Chain A
Amino acid sequence: MDAERRKIYEVVVQNIAEALGLDEEEVHLEDTLIEDLGAESLDFLDIAFRLEQDLGIKIPRGDIQARAAESAGDEPFEVDGVLTAVGLARLREAMPEIPDERFKEGMTVREIPYLFTVETFFNLCVRLVGEKSAVTA
């Protein structure tokens, strides 16, 4: 891991730990935020805010889902809240850090946040920090 990624990793772990009232040793890359670390929807707002302040980035709300839906192009991403086969495939591509078996047929849009792991936030931050430096450069 290069220095930049190391720094982002530390910021992500520190902020997730603070937001969820945990010690940093209790936060691992593969932990899911909701089921493993006890996050609720409000905590996602909190974590996003903290990361934005510390990394100088802007995390659009619903970014992962929106990008996946966009990459589905003209094909429907969901029908009545249930992900289509195409939707599921795009979501999997958007979140390569999540084990395949977690993307279950019949999954609903509301269940997407249950997939998020610490690594999801790490990857998101790496990408957004990269895009920011690209703009500044």
Chain B
Amino acid sequence: MTPRRVAVTGMGLICPLGRDPEAVFRDMIAGRSGVSALDAFDTTGFEVKVAARVRDFDPGAALPGELGAFLERGLDRKTAFGLAAAGDALASAFGAAAPSSVPPARRGVHLATGLTSTEVPEAEQDFLAHLDGRGAYDPRSAGRAAARNDGLFAYRHMTDLCAALVARRAGAAGPVLTNHGACAAAAQAIGHAFHDLREGEIDLAVCGGFESMIHPFGVLSFALLGALSTTTDRPPEAVSRPFDRTRDGFVIGEGAAMFVLEPLDLALARGARPLAEIVGYGSSLDAFRVTAPAPHGAGAARAMRSALRDAGLPPEAVGYINAHGTATPLNDAHETEAIRAVFGGPGRAPPVSSTKSMIGHAVAAAGAVEGVAVVQALRHQVLPPTLNLRDPDPECDLDYVPLVGRPASFEYAVSNSFGFGGQNASLVFRRWEGPA
């Protein structure tokens, strides 16, 4: 079968800058930040003071009535994000209509998320309640709680619930998978959906990621690893500063983004309006250390080369790179080195920016949320900036589009997502140049 072209025909976004992809992108171009004081819980005694939180999101109101009663029983925040974003994506692709012309077996769902949730209520019910006076864990107590079975234990911890519900909503009876590839997860999910469409396995995919770790144990787990910024002498919106000499870690974000992908020919035949194409996906493993990237960003470079090869493109075709750009000292230096190795040094590499400077790190959803920024950049021919880059690091010597967005004329863009454990993924997007 001749490889088919794959179009993005719908997208949904829940991110710290809002829910409307157009408005969010306008904010990004203007260099507005979604980072604010960490007020999701009392941070007294905790060194992390900022986060990029989704505001004004009411899971009940955001979701249709059929799920209402179920949600009240305790749907977790990330799953609610995912369902809402998937609903928006399907609506933007099909309006009120259902994608009825595609047989259910040829519809797939590839989602991505991170850990099972241990928010404070889970900790109190599933851990603290089972400790005796000396602080030892008593599994018999956990057993008695499970025997009483409030029916919710599994739902508090399931990470595949979102994919199952999205599959139901999209009427999908083909592949339904949830990716657990850490910070590369969403890019992997999108990449595999893209391959399935290109190679004729399916004719419709809902793909993307959903994540929420802005709760005490979520933030603490990254703080224990020393990955988060602990800056307190700047306003919250100035803390996330990828590629800056003074960068000191990432700002945790949250949210979801979902895409509807279709073969270009089928999309055009049904009168859909493509937003962009996906043309390449590649991945790699560092096989080096569980936390530190491989020397010289070798793994990251392999992922980008693999994606370009998959797209059949030379490096010079790429006009923009949306970096992983977490603002940890190691990531940004190694990612820069990797980009130099693949695309050439200053003057030869395309402009690079990190939208994490504005929306923080959405962890397992990052590749999807940033994918929306890339699609918007291609549509509007404007590069989103790296906010707060005022003191360039001599080790990071590329064009990072500092502070404000910039018009550009470009056809292809790369989006990078690199996970802890050395799991790397890169996607290549193409501007849709046909009738909009």
How distant is the Cα of A45 from the Cα of B224 in the complex, in angstroms? 9
B234 CB-CB contact with A under 8 Å:
no
* Interface set, chain A 50-105, CB cutoff 8 A to B: 61, 80
CB distance from A131 to the nearest CB of B (A): 22
B383-423 vs A: 1/0 string, CB under 8 Å? Answer: 00000000000100000000000000000000000000000
A40 CB-CB contact with B under 8 Å:
yes
Cβ B394 vs Cβ A42 within 8 A:
no
Cβ A40 vs Cβ B394 within 8 A:
no
* Interface set, chain A 1-50, CB cutoff 8 A to B: 40-42, 45
CB distance from B400 to the nearest CB of A (A): 19
How distant is the Cα of A45 from the Cα of B289 in the complex, in angstroms? 15
* Residues of chain B within 8 A of A42, CB atoms compared: 289-292
Cβ B394 vs Cβ A80 within 8 A:
yes
Count of interface residues, chain A, beta-carbon cutoff 8 Å: 6
* Residues of chain B within 8 A of A40, CB atoms compared: 289, 292
* Residues of chain A within 8 A of B289, CB atoms compared: 40, 42
How distant is the Cα of A41 from the Cα of B291 in the complex, in angstroms? 9
How distant is the Cα of A45 from the Cα of B292 in the complex, in angstroms? 14
How distant is the Cα of A61 from the Cα of B292 in the complex, in angstroms? 18
Closest residue of chain A to B329, judged by CB?
A110
* Residues of chain B within 8 A of A80, CB atoms compared: 394
Closest residue of chain B to A40, judged by CB?
B289
Closest residue of chain A to B291, judged by CB?
A42
* Residues of chain A within 8 A of B291, CB atoms compared: 41-42
How distant is the Cα of A113 from the Cα of B242 in the complex, in angstroms? 25
How distant is the Cα of A42 from the Cα of B226 in the complex, in angstroms? 10
Cβ B292 vs Cβ A41 within 8 A:
yes
CB distance from B394 to the nearest CB of A (A): 7
CB distance from A76 to the nearest CB of B (A): 16
How distant is the Cα of A40 from the Cα of B295 in the complex, in angstroms? 13
* Residues of chain A within 8 A of B290, CB atoms compared: 42
CB distance from B85 to the nearest CB of A (A): 35
Closest residue of chain B to A41, judged by CB?
B292
How distant is the Cα of A61 from the Cα of B176 in the complex, in angstroms? 45
* Residues of chain B within 8 A of A45, CB atoms compared: 226
* Residues of chain A within 8 A of B226, CB atoms compared: 45, 61
How distant is the Cα of A13 from the Cα of B303 in the complex, in angstroms? 41
* Residues of chain B within 8 A of A41, CB atoms compared: 291-292
How distant is the Cα of A42 from the Cα of B289 in the complex, in angstroms? 10
How distant is the Cα of A41 from the Cα of B227 in the complex, in angstroms? 13
CB distance from B306 to the nearest CB of A (A): 27
CB distance from B197 to the nearest CB of A (A): 40
B289-322 vs A: 1/0 string, CB under 8 Å? Answer: 1111000000000000000000000000000000
Closest residue of chain B to A61, judged by CB?
B226
* Residues of chain A within 8 A of B292, CB atoms compared: 40-42
* Residues of chain A within 8 A of B394, CB atoms compared: 80
CB distance from A18 to the nearest CB of B (A): 18
CB distance from A73 to the nearest CB of B (A): 22
Closest residue of chain A to B224, judged by CB?
A45
* Interface set, chain B 221-249, CB cutoff 8 A to A: 226
CB distance from A52 to the nearest CB of B (A): 14
How distant is the Cα of A61 from the Cα of B225 in the complex, in angstroms? 12
CB distance from B349 to the nearest CB of A (A): 23
Closest residue of chain B to A42, judged by CB?
B291
CB distance from B337 to the nearest CB of A (A): 15
How distant is the Cα of A80 from the Cα of B289 in the complex, in angstroms? 27
How distant is the Cα of A6 from the Cα of B285 in the complex, in angstroms? 45
B260-299 vs A: 1/0 string, CB under 8 Å? Answer: 0000000000000000000000000000011110000000
* Interface set, chain B 340-376, CB cutoff 8 A to A: none
How distant is the Cα of A41 from the Cα of B394 in the complex, in angstroms? 23
How distant is the Cα of A40 from the Cα of B294 in the complex, in angstroms? 13
How distant is the Cα of A15 from the Cα of B290 in the complex, in angstroms? 21
How distant is the Cα of A80 from the Cα of B292 in the complex, in angstroms? 22
Closest residue of chain A to B292, judged by CB?
A41
* Interface set, chain B 196-233, CB cutoff 8 A to A: 226
* Residues of chain B within 8 A of A61, CB atoms compared: 226
B residues near A (Cβ < 8 Å) are 226, 289-292, 394
| Cross-chain pairs A/B with CB under 8 angstroms, 11 sampled | A40-B289, A40-B292, A41-B291, A41-B292, A42-B289, A42-B290, A42-B291, A42-B292, A45-B226, A61-B226, A80-B394
Closest 6 CB pairs of A and B: A42-B291, A40-B289, A41-B292, A40-B292, A42-B290, A80-B394
Other than the given A42-B289, A42-B291, A45-B226, 8 more pairs (CB < 8 A) read A40-B289, A40-B292, A41-B291, A41-B292, A42-B290, A42-B292, A61-B226, A80-B394
